[in-house]
Amino acid sequence: MLRKQIFTMVLLSLVTFCSCSSMGIIFPQGNDRSSFNAIVINERMTFGFLAEKIIIGEYKADIDRSWTKEDSTHSFQFLGSSKTIRAEQNYSFKITGTDDFNWDGKCYAGAEVEKESIRLFKKKMTSHTVNKNNMACEFNSGDKKIFLYIEGPSNNKTGYIRFNEVNLDIIMKFESVPVGGGWTTSNNTIGYQIYNNGILIAVIGTTLSDKALYVRKDIEQTLMPVLLNSAVALVAYKDMSSSIKNSQ
């Protein structure tokens, strides 16, 4: 009986993994993949403190990630208690590539989650409220600077990119997939869409089956550093609010 239960659990895990990894980029209506060039993104772990490396075509980025910092405060209230947990993580990277391409990036990810527990007639109820969940980055190359910022819940982030006089908008795309045999669901980021004056210029895929940077074929080449830096930052990004909730 025990062997049968273990086999069932392993099978369900494989099914869940396959369903998660089979998700692909969904291009918004009116946009076709054929209008975009696809640059494959590879993530690798290297020796020595498991350093991370992200490769986008001919461009390489080494990720230096700091330890996650967490702190919490407790307060008691009528029939229950409240716990506020804060977490943050910093990471930096350097991108090098063809034509003396050389950029440095620094990112900060932070979140604050409030967990309330109420006990009524021997029944305990808990809830989570996300007070903050954001990521901010700055990319530099000589006197050139790019800023990136996203915020919002784990399944509905939006943001922007600023480079000289160019303002780009970011929309996160996600899918809710079954976890543990379908009893619960998990919101999984499948990619990010980047717009310039309402026109889709790039899509960043983050799933195992579709991890790539899609760039509109007629894009201005001056925007390529923006898209490459943004792709590295968003692929390396870890949602801190999800980490806090999963640890409870």
pLDDT tens, position by position, 110-146: 998 887 777 666 676 777 688 889 999 999 999 999 9
Q: Which domain holds residue 235?
A: 2-73+89-111+132-246
Find residue 239's DSSP bridge partners: none
Q: Which of 11-15, 160-164, 187-191, 217-221 has the lowest mean pLDDT?
A: 11-15
pLDDT at 75: 67
Q: In this prediction, what percent of the chain has a pLDDT beyond 70?
A: 75
Could you give the CA distance from residue 170 to residue 85 in angstroms, rounded to a whole number?
A: 27
pLDDT-derived band at 190, boundaries 50, 70, 90: confident
Paired with 214 in beta bridges are 38, 203
Contacts of 232 (CB under 8 A, 6+ apart): 54, 56, 61, 63, 93, 95, 105
Q: Is residue 8 part of a domain?
A: yes
Domain annotation covers residue 117? no
H/E element, 2: helix 2-21
Q: The tokens 């717009």 sit on which residue? A: 195
Q: Tokens 């998700």 label which residue?
A: 23
Mean pLDDT of the chain, nearest integer: 81
Q: What is the number of domains present in the chain?
A: 1
- 171 in a structural domain: yes
Q: How far is CA 157 from the centre of its chain?
A: 10
Higher pLDDT, 178 or 165: 165
15 within a domain of the structure (yes/no): yes
pLDDT tens digits, one per residue of 20-64: 444 566 677 778 888 999 999 998 865 555 678 999 999 999 999
Cα–Cα dist 109/116, whole Å: 23
In a domain, 82, yes or no: no
Instruction: Please check the confidence at residue 87 and state whether its pLDDT lies above 50.
Output: yes
**pLDDT at 19 > cutoff 60:** no
Q: What is the CA radius of gyration of the chain?
A: 20
193 located within any domain: yes
Mean pLDDT confidence for 95-105: 94
Is residue 84 one of the residues assigned to a domain?
no
Residue 175 has a pLDDT of 75
| Measured distance CA(208)–CA(21) in Å, rounded | 5
- Regarding pTM above 0.85, the answer is no
* Structural domain includes residue 79: no
| pLDDT at residue 241, as a whole number | 85
